[in-house]
Amino acid sequence: MSELVGSPHRSSPHGEIHDLSVAVAEQLSRDLDAAIEMLRSDQSEDADDGDADYDPDDEFVEVLTSVEGIGPTVAKRLEQQFDSLEAVVDASDEELESVESAGRKTRVLIREFEI
């Protein structure tokens, strides 16, 4: 614990506990900052120019984006390829996976979610 600083009572057990508490709090703060930065980075990577056309009043897109893992870009592309939600549900695996930015994950999500 000699690398820890901040307590004038280094020789007492309370001083060592204080130093350890400070070190743990500092590490937790760094870890939290890193986690927040990672989440922000993930959100900016998920955003793309295709979301600019997103209309929150669009029921088709609203229903599809209610499925966790399907974002507005994929929902709009599904809407462009299929006439209705029923057509999405009835589409073959190959048809679903052929939609740009959609793939096996989107297909599995649609199959698991009861629209």
Q: What confidence score (pLDDT) does residue 44 get? A: 47
Per-residue pLDDT band for 39 (boundaries 50, 70, 90) equals: low
pLDDT in tens, 91-103: 999 999 899 888 8
The pTM of the full predicted model, rounded to 2 decimals, is: 0.49
Tell which wins on pLDDT, 44 or 41.
Answer: 41
d(CA 78, CA 98): 10
- What is the per-residue pLDDT for 48? 45
* Residue 46 clears pLDDT 50, i.e. is over it: no
Candidates 57, 94, 98; CA nearest to 81 is: 98
What are the tokens at 88?
Answer: 């999405």
- pLDDT category at 78 given cuts 50, 70, 90 is very high
91 neighbors 82 (Cβ within 8 angstroms): yes
Whether residue 21 is predicted with pLDDT greater than 50 in this model: the reply is yes
* CA 48 – CA 14 distance, rounded (Å): 53
- At residue 47, φ and ψ (nearest 5 deg) are -75, 140
